[in-house]
Amino acid sequence: MEWSFLAAEELSAALRAGEVTSVELTEEAIARIDRDDKVINAICVPDFDRARAAARSADQARARGEDRPLLGIPVTVKESYNIAGLPTTWGMPMHRNYVPSEDAVQVSRLKAAGAVILGKTNVPFMLRDWQSFNEIYGTTNNPWDHGRTSGGSSGGSAAALASGFGALSIGSDLAGSLRNPAHFCGVYAHKPTFGLVATRGMVPPPAPALPVDGDLAVCGPMARTARDLTLLLDVMAGPDPLTLGIAYHLTLPPARHQRLSDFRVLVLDEHPLIATGSAVRAGVNRVADALVDGGARVERHSPLLPDLTEAAKLYAQLMFSNAGARIPAEAYEQLRTRAAGLSAGDQGLDAARLRGMVLSHRDWIEADIHRELHRHSWRRLFAEFDAVVCPITPIPAFPHDHNPNPEQRRLDIDGVEYPYVDQLVWAGLATMPGLPATAIPAGRSPEGLPVGVQLIGPMFEDRTPLRLAELLEQKIGGFQAPQ
């Protein structure tokens, strides 16, 4: 039997039943990587010797009667996570030789749960792209079309899952970096509520692995089924043991509903700042039709929805203020001069990003207050709805575009060009207020490319969009292996 595309849940059952060993699963995964990854290039740092040793240990532990959540399951880890003894570069050539001595907290949790780590997956330079390529490890190709991106920044992880290179992976998300690759490669991902998953050790080299959460950014699970997302989130979730974990334990509330007919869902397929491509719109509508057919209450408009234009600009300011804080002083002063030259009437996304790069602390506090107002608006909305269904990005996976200047790249949406960076507005809908969002497959484009949508849920009620994802998987189907 071939095991590579089975869910982690199914593999665990087979391991418990003695139908397969972890060593056999690991050897099959390694053989598949050796055979197929030459053209995909998802696994940038293999760790096969230690994986084999971990698999042997897992089989021995099971023989002793142990049974942990991921015992013996082959998984991969995004390159940006520290794994002791392996390089962490974030795709930056100047750090190609940086090797941390301590595991990231999420790597430690994977190992404690019994997972077998096959290696690390590819990322873009500094994790700043919706493509995964860098000078150290090269380009990760989409398993459905090798001439197209696998997404970013967790593109290596999504491509690995779609190719059968392990049952699970962990990634991170600031600008859709979990959801975008899942959409492009036809797999599942979950962006947790901000602060739900400890991020220590998911840090650019050679920065120290401190127990702090950077604004907006989260770590999260990726899988080939919705139930596997929940399985992995339960391993990952919880406060850092060095800080809040000293005093608090996590208890996530159950999903609001168990039946599709009980869900109240707001469906969005239009954004005021960017068009929605026909293939993505069809995916959103396919999910909406399934919800209606399942008896859910579905609405297309609500006065409770926060202003999408204001939300996108606020997100741009907050996100780009992070980038501006880390650039050299001379470049920063040049940006300040450019920002000062903007007219007061220039309220576009480009202007919001530029102003964000040089945001003063006082202005950041003001932006943060506006974010809290948006969060409160979302609380009111989620008193009337259980989830929001919307695009992740406007189009399916696009052809590789390695123009070193992202401002010169263009996104082709049904024959009309848009600024490349503007595609982040849909991802920011959940990221800016810190809401959980689950990416699910929602069909194929006319060219046969995967199309996904995101299910945004109430803050700290992550099981609600995850349960909805599971019900929709039963209704419309889920992952399919590339042909």
Phi-psi region of 65 (alpha: psi -120 to 50; beta: other; left: phi over 0): left
b/e per residue 433-462 (b: at least 16 CB within 10 A):
bbbbbbbbbbbbbeeebbbbbbbbbbbbbb
| Side chain identity at residue 375, one-letter code | R
d(CA 77, CA 167): 11
Residue 152 Cα distances to 131, 189, 208, 381, angstroms: 5, 13, 24, 30
Task: Tell me what percent of the chain is helix, strand and coil, each rounded to the nearest 5.
Answer: 40, 15, 40
Catalytic annotation on 302? no
Distance of CA 319 to the CA centre of its chain: 16
- Please provide residue 299's backbone torsions phi and psi, each rounded to the nearest 5 degrees: -120, 150
Strand partners, 121: 43, 78
Q: Are 217 and 164 in contact (CB under 8 A)?
A: no
355 Cβ neighbours under 8 A, 6+ residues apart: 317, 339, 342
Determine the length of the chain. Answer: 483
Catalytic annotation on 177? yes
| Side chain identity at residue 383, one-letter code | A
SS3 369: helix
b/e per residue 362-397 (b: at least 16 CB within 10 A):
eebeebeebbeebeebbeebbeebbbbbbbbbbbbb
Q: Are 297 and 385 in contact (CB under 8 A)?
A: no
Q: Are 228 and 7 in contact (CB under 8 A)?
A: yes
Catalytic residue among 150, 153, 169, 321: 153
Catalytic annotation on 321? no
SS3 321: helix
Catalytic residue among 154, 177, 321, 445: 177
**Nearest of 71, 27, 81 to residue 49 by alpha carbon:** 27
Q: Which residues are catalytic?
A: 78, 153, 177
